[in-house]
Amino acid sequence: MTQDRILMAHGSGGLMSQRLIDEVFKQAWQNEIMEPMLDGAILQMPAGRLAMSTDSFVITPLFFPGGDIGKLSICGTVNDLLACGATPLYLSTAFIIEEGLPIAELRLIAESMAKTAREVGVKLVTGDTKVVEKGSCDGVFINTTGIGIIPEGIDYRPPRIQPGDKVIVTGYVGDHGLAILAQREGLTFSTPVVSDCAALYQLEEMVAKYGDAIKCMRDPTRGGLATVLNEIAVQAGIGIRVKEAAIPVAPAVKGACDMLGMDPLYMANEGKMVMFVAAAAARDLLFDLHQLSPTANAAIIGQVDAGPSGLVLIETELGAERILGILEGEHVPRIC
């Protein structure tokens, strides 16, 4: 491309748009479904339950320790599909780009998306590119929308959760939120904090063998673990009791949060899953989770009670019990 920055004409829908798509996106993502360049992708699907999930990514900065907006945009939607019990198959991608963005950055982002999609086994099948004037967006915003097939026998929904079920979180909480905050504020710690940004595609096959013992899964992104537990307690009409001492937090994150007066239970994660599982299967599942590197620090953090309905109670490290509320107000903005 002769230009090295995005111009308004790259969003015109004409010749410059075509060149941008050909030289940046198609080059990174080439596949036979996107190739005909129709108004949409044509996909052969089997009959059954389809999951559909959408997310826009507005994270700042665009590149951060452990990932970038491109990787994040694939992982976020893939993890949402996995939480629905679906095998992620196809993603659409839509870019809103600020005039002046270096095309080299856009290329890095597109390549990062391609790499992550290849790992996961999803295809980027259709897309859209818009350009807005300098100052009308912040660098680049990406939407990905994904679809996947839910295999027979898989049914992850809050109403299936019952008293006695165990609550598992698949690893350290708060890494992503703290990594973004630290980079943005120029904070450095003796042990660097890296985002957990990852697509948990390896979970799918492993978890499927537990059949209906898995009741519900959700990825604790914005609002953190505490917010997701509260959402599910309300949606399932159950109470949740967790033990603070059982919740895995990386030492560096714990130290930094203590220093900054922040709570890792409200910090965003981008490569974690909260799982509700029948008590009888919990220990075997935990053993299996420990065999996979993205879930090596998984832990049983609590259990489900009949009530108080819609409430999450936490037993603190000092042995007291208190309500763990949903995130109120604002925490760290634009972390995804």
Tokens of 110: 């597109």
The whole-angstrom separation of Cα 291 and Cα 84 is 23
Stretch 306-325 residues interacting with a second copy (CB under 8 A): none
Query: Minimal distance in Å, beta carbon 318 to a second copy?
Result: 26
CA 178 to chain centre: 15
* Residues 14-33, interacting with a second copy (CB under 8 A): 14-18
Closest CB to a second copy among residues 15, 187: 15
Q: Which of 6, 110, 147, 182 binds a second copy (CB under 8 A)?
A: 147
Which of 73, 87, 93, 116: binder of a second copy (CB under 8 A)? 93
How far is C-alpha 280 from the geometric centre of its chain's CA atoms?
28
Does position 302 interact with a second copy (CB under 8 A)? The reply is no
Of the listed pieces 108-116, 131-139, 186-194, 238-246, which binds a second copy according to CB under 8 A? Answer: 131-139
Q: For a second copy, which stretch binds (CB under 8 A), given 130-138, 198-206, 237-245, 277-285?
A: 130-138
Helix axes 69-83, 103-120, angle to 10 degrees: 30
Total count of residues recorded for the chain = 336
Radius of gyration of the chain (CA): 21
Interface residue with a second copy among 25, 29, 90, 172 (CB under 8 A) is 90
Q: Is 329 one of the binding residues for a second copy (CB under 8 A)?
A: yes
Half-sphere exposure of 191 (CA within 13 A, CB side): 10
Residue 222 contacts a second copy per CB under 8 A: yes
Within 179-218, the residues that bind a second copy by CB under 8 A are: 218
CA-to-CA separations, 286 to 38, 207, 265, 280, in angstroms, rounded: 45, 10, 20, 11
Q: Is 2 in the site for a second copy (CB under 8 A)?
A: no
- Is 210 exposed, middle or buried, given 0-12, 13-18 or 19+ CB atoms closer than 10 A? middle
133, 122 in Cβ contact below 8 A? no
Packed helices 69-83 and 201-208: angle between N→C axes, nearest 10 degrees: 20
Answer whether the bond into residue 333 is a cis peptide, omega within 30°: no
Determine, following the binding rule CB under 8 A, whether residue 279 of this chain makes contact with a second copy: no
Check residue 45 for interaction with a second copy (CB under 8 A): yes
Contact letters for a second copy, residues 51-80 (x by CB under 8 A): xxxxxxxx--------------------xx
Whose tokens are 């981008």? That residue is 270
* 125 touches a second copy (CB under 8 A): yes
CB-wise, 235 or 255, nearer to a second copy? 235
CB of 208 to a second copy, least distance (A): 16
Is residue 243 part of the contact set for a second copy (CB under 8 A)? no
